[in-house]
C-alpha cells in the first residue's frame, strides 16, 4: 500500500457488509488504512466484536465501529444504516460483500457462478438507475480466494489469491481516480489447473 494514498478517503465513511474475515475484512482494513471511517458488519456478534477490536488496534478507536447485520433481513439492514448515521453521520461508500457459498460437486461453483452472472447485470442496471444521483456502482468478481471455502473445490488445484488482492481494486473503484468508471465488473482470477 502506497504512503501517498493513505488519506485519500479522509472525511469519508465506508460501510462494508460481511466484513469480519476474508475479503470483507481485507476491504474494511484497506479503506480504514486509506483514511475512511469504517462500519463493519456480520451475522454474528462475536465476529463483529473481534474484527472491530483488531481494526481499532490498527487504525484507532474512532475509525472503526461494527454492528450485527444479516443482509438477508430487512430489519437488520435498516438497523445497520441507522447505526452508521448515528455513529458517523453519513455514508459515502457502500461495499456489499455478502455472497452465497459455492457448492461442491460435479459442476463446481455452479450456484456461485450463477450469482456472479446475475451481479454483472445488476451492476449495470443499478449504475444506470443511480447515475442521475451521482452514485457509481461497480463490482469485482474474484476467482478463488484463500478462505475457508477453498476446500469446496475437490481435486482441482486452482491458483488461490489472498483477500488483500481484492482490497486494492475496491479501494481504487471507490476513489476519485475511478470517478469516470461505473457499471463495470473487474474480473480478478488466476488460471486454474487440474491434477
- Residues annotated as part of the active site: 112
Tell me the C-alpha to C-alpha distance, in Å, between residue 35 and each of 49, 53, 64, 177: 21, 17, 11, 15
Residues 6 or more apart whose CB falls under 8 angstroms from that of 58 comprise 29, 32, 33
Angle, nearest 10°, between helix axes 22-33 and 45-59? 30
| Contact predicate 159/150, CB 8 Å | no
Rounded CA gap, 44 and 49, in Å?
9
SS3 48: helix
Separation between Cα atoms, residue 172 and residue 104, nearest integer Å: 32
Quote the distance between the C-alpha of residue 59 and its chain's center: 18
Q: Locate cell 483488531: which residue?
A: 54
Amino acid at each position: 500500500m502506497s504512503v501517498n494514498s493513505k488519506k485519500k478517503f479522509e472525511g469519508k465513511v465506508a460501510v462494508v457488509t460481511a466484513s469480519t474475515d476474508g475479503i470483507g475484512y481485507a476491504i474494511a482494513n484497506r479503506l480504514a488504512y486509506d483514511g475512511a471511517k469504517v462500519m463493519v458488519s456480520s451475522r454474528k456478534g462475536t465476529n463483529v466484536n473481534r474484527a472491530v477490536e483488531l481494526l481499532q488496534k490498527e487504525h484507532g478507536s474512532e475509525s472503526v465501529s461494527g454492528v450485527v447485520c444479516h443482509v438477508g433481513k430487512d430489519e437488520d439492514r435498516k438497523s445497520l444504516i441507522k447505526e452508521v448515521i448515528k455513529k458517523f453521520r453519513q455514508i459515502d461508500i457502500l461495499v456489499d460483500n455478502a455472497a452465497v457459498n459455492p457448492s461442491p460437486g460435479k459442476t463446481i461453483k455452479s450456484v456461485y457462478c450463477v450469482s456472479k452472472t446475475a451481479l454483472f447485470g445488476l451492476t449495470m442496471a443499478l449504475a444506470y438507475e443511480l447515475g442521475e444521483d451521482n452514485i457509481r456502482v461497480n463490482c469485482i468478481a474474484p476467482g478463488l480466494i484463500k478462505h475457508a471455502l477453498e476446500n469446496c473445490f475437490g481435486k482441482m488445484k486452482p491458483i488461490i489469491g489472498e483477500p488483500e488482492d481484492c482490497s486494492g481494486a475496491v479501494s481504487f473503484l471507490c476513489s476519485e481516480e475511478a470517478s469516470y468508471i461505473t457499471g463495470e465488473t473487474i474480473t480478478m482470477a488466476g488460471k486454474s489447473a487440474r491434477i
